[in-house]
Amino acid sequence: MCTGFWVGLFLWSVKDYTQLITFDDSFVTGFLLACAASAASFLGSMLMGDDGINVNHTVYIERND
């Protein structure tokens, strides 16, 4: 998440040198872009694992005591 934050802030800072993204010069916009990149990084890590898409199977065993 930390790397996503700094990548988002970096992309906001180089916006004047590229036509890839266009945002205003507000520091609030930079902070929100960094937070959005961090959230995207978190969601990506929750959805993907080392073996591909992260699927957890839960088996419920009914016990008769």
3-state DSSP percent of the chain in helix, strand and coil, to 5:
55, 5, 40
Banded model confidence at residue 21, pLDDT cuts 50, 70, 90: confident
pLDDT at 28: 93
List Cβ neighbours of 29 (8 Å cut-off, separation of 6 or more). 12, 23
- Check residue 55 and give left, alpha or beta (phi > 0: left; psi -120 to 50: alpha): beta
Pairwise pLDDT comparison (50 vs 11), residue with the higher score: 11
Given a cut of 70, is residue 65 above it in pLDDT?
no
Burial class (CB in 10 A: 0-12, 13-18, 19+), 37: buried
What are the tens digits of pLDDT across the range 28-55?
999 999 999 999 999 988 888 777 887 7
Q: Does the reported pTM lie above 0.85?
A: no
